[in-house]
């Protein structure tokens, strides 16, 4: 029996691969028998198709949960590709935190696990009153998965993010490293080991570089190859913990 559990997926920065990891994690958990659902409360940078707004990140979600409509994965869709608080202001929309929290709880009732993806990093403002994603994470109090890019600067960005979460006593599930491009394996491994030592945080897995991630996500065999070495034991502990 699966105990319902949500995870918050945040990143050390924007464009580190949170949506890719959230999508992969959805199928990874489904393969473990967990009915997982990806959810991004606020999607900025949505494109328009006639009268309909299309969320780009949710299109990736739909590759792993094709039975849902692309508009099922967000509460707010905003056109401008910027921080949610600014995109909402430019659209004359008020982002209501209580509406988002209610949506999370409704999704938890319908699924075993809800994978809540943030925008950018921890201190990206969600609303224009200074309420940031880290405040929302503190309110939800669910295990957080930090996505970190395997690139120059990742040690500083990752350690700062972990320290910020520890300062708020947030539950940290672990780190998933995303390879954005082919790099030097010696440097990459050194970065990972340094981060492990400095943060004492579990490494949940790695996402190897893929030049066509959309094709990979849509293919069961190719997709499973990306998460075949993830830490299943650690995830089982997280899913079944009270």
Beta bridge pairs of residue 11: 147
179 appears as a binding residue in the annotation: yes
| Domain chopping of the chain, boundaries | 7-40+95-240
Q: Which residue from 2, 43, 35 is spatially nearest to 19, judged by alpha carbons? A: 43
Q: Residue 217 and residue 210: Cα distance in Å, rounded?
A: 10
Q: What is the pLDDT of residues 114-169, one digit of tens each?
A: 999 999 999 999 998 999 999 999 999 999 999 999 988 899 999 999 999 999 99
Q: Which residue from 143, 169, 133 is spatially nearest to 234, judged by alpha carbons? A: 143
pTM for this predicted structure: 0.94
Beta bridge pairs of residue 49: 52
Q: Residue 38 and residue 95: Cα distance in Å, rounded?
A: 20
Confidence of residue 1 (pLDDT cuts 50, 70, 90): very low
Q: Residue 3's pLDDT is what? A: 57
217 class by beta-carbon count within 10 Å (0-12 exposed, 13-18 middle, 19+ buried): buried
210 appears as a binding residue in the annotation: yes
Indicate the CATH number of 7-40+95-240 among 3.40.50.300, 3.40.50.2020, 3.30.70.2190, 1.10.12.10: 3.40.50.300
Q: Which residue from 145, 122, 144, 149 is spatially nearest to 135, judged by alpha carbons? A: 122
Q: What is the pLDDT of residues 86-120, one digit of tens each?
A: 999 999 999 999 999 999 999 999 999 999 999 99
> Is 102 annotated in the active site?
no
Q: Which of 40, 80, 228, 232 is catalytic?
A: 40
Q: What is the pLDDT of residues 185-220, one digit of tens each?
A: 999 999 999 999 999 999 999 999 999 999 999 999
119 appears as a binding residue in the annotation: yes
């Amino acid at each position: 029996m699966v105990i319902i559990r949500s995870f918050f997926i945040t990143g050390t920065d924007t464009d580190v691969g949170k949506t890719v990891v959230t999508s992969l994690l959805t199928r990874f958990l489904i393969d473990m028998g967990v009915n997982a659902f990806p959810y991004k409360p606020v999607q900025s940078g949505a494109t328009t198709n006639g009268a309909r707004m299309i969320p780009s990140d949710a299109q990736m979600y739909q590759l792993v949960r094709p039975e849902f409509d692309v508009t099922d994965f967000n509460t707010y869709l905003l056109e401008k590709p910027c921080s949610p608080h600014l995109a909402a202001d430019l659209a004359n929309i008020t982002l209501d935190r209580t509406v988002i929290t209610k949506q999370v709880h409704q999704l938890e009732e319908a699924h075993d696990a809800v994978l809540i993806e943030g925008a950018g990093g921890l201190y990206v403002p969600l609303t224009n009153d200074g309420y940031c994603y880290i405040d929302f994470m503190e309110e939800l109090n669910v295990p957080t998965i930090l996505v970190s890019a395997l690139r120059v600067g990742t040690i500083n960005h990752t350690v700062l993010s972990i320290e910020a979460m520890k300062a708020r006593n947030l539950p940290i599930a672990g780190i998933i490293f995303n390879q954005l491009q082919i790099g030097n394996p010696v440097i990459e491994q050194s970065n990972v080991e340094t981060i492990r030592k400095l943060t004492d945080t579990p490494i949940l897995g790695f996402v190897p570089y893929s030049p066509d991630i959309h094709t990979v996500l849509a293919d069961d065999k190719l997709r499973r190859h990306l998460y075949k070495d993830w830490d299943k034991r650690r995830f089982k502990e997280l899913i079944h913990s009270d």
